[in-house]
């Protein structure tokens, strides 16, 4: 393998696709931000109408210091409603207040001892995981929701294998590097018992079925030429970058 990421030839694609670690399959509060009137009045009306049409109780909170208006559900709503909101009102930038996460990870090496160290941790946690090659190493996607406490503990155990990866989003489109698709699907699924969501996700990623993936997961589209390949970025800078990708996703 090349010793420097700069040796990998980039494609000319403008956008690539990733998936976030926020499950849409668990009850959660949904919230939105809008600017004060009259700057963002249209968005506020759309949010009002959406909640009322779906008969979801909500409240509005004004923050005079930030010039923002918060709209949030009064209680957690069911996954069916969450998926409907993310499917039909994505342009309103819905966000989730949830205690659940997916455990995503990546490593920037193909050394088998590091690969198996990560896989062993997933196995010990009883989590199914779909893992596959990337141009730099491996990606790991587990779509069995876990609590944030379990998530944070797992990240502490995984951190020695990658000091700079913020497990917020993970790219699922092999279009950032030339010839990456030739190795992107090398990998497999590890589980104690079969997990239908993991099997289905692997199939959808391999088929590049972004529509179906977007119906089950929160996906983001972002610039393929962003600077997250810069090995000099700190974990804080990478975290901020991933969060901005979610915020700016079309």
Sheet holding 219-223, edge to edge: 169-171, 15-20, 219-223
Question: What pLDDT score was predicted for residue 4?
Answer: 45
Question: Average pLDDT, stretch 48-63?
Answer: 95
Question: Average pLDDT, stretch 177-185?
Answer: 92
Angle between helices 112-124 and 148-158 (to 10 degrees): 160
Question: What pLDDT score was predicted for residue 6?
Answer: 52
Q: Domain locations in the chain? A: 5-25+99-248, 29-97
CATH annotation of 29-97: 3.30.70
Question: What pLDDT score was predicted for residue 247?
Answer: 83
Question: What pLDDT score was predicted for residue 65?
Answer: 76
- Residue 2, pLDDT > 50, answer no
- pLDDT tens for 201-246 read 999 999 999 999 999 999 999 887 665 455 677 888 888 888 888 8
Closest to 241 in 3D by CA, of 184, 174, 177, 164? 164
pLDDT class for 39, splitting at 50, 70, 90?
A: low
Closest to 176 in 3D by CA, of 7, 5, 15? 15
Tokens of 4: 């420097």
DSSP per-residue string spanning 222-243: EETT-GGG-TT--HHHHHHHHH
- Residue 30, pLDDT > 90, answer yes
């Amino acid at each position: 393998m090349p010793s420097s990421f700069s040796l990998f030839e980039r494609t000319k694609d403008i956008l690539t696709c990733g998936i976030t670690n926020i499950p849409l399959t668990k009850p959660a509060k949904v919230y939105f931000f809008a600017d004060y009137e009259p700057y963002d009045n249209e968005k506020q009306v759309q949010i009002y109408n959406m909640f009322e049409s779906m008969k979801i109780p909500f409240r509005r909170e004004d923050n005079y210091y930030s010039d923002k208006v918060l709209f949030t559900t009064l209680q957690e709503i069911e996954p069916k409603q969450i998926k409907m909101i993310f499917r039909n009102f994505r342009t309103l930038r819905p966000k989730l207040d949830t205690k659940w996460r997916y455990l995503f990870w990546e490593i920037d090496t193909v050394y088998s001892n590091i690969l198996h160290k990560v896989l062993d941790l997933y196995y010990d946690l009883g989590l199914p995981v779909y893992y596959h090659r990337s141009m730099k190493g491996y990606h790991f996607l587990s779509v069995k929701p876990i609590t944030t406490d379990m998530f944070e503990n797992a990240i502490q155990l995984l951190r020695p294998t990658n000091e700079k990866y913020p497990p917020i989003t993970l790219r699922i489109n092999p279009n950032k590097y030339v010839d990456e698709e030739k190795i992107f699907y090398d990998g497999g699924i590890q589980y104690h018992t079969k997990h239908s969501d993991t099997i289905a996700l692997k199939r959808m990623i391999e088929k590049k079925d972004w529509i179906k993936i977007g119906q089950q997961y929160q996906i983001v589209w972002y610039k393929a030429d962003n600077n997250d390949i810069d090995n000099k970025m700190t974990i804080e800078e990478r975290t901020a970058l991933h969060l901005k990708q979610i915020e700016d996703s079309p």
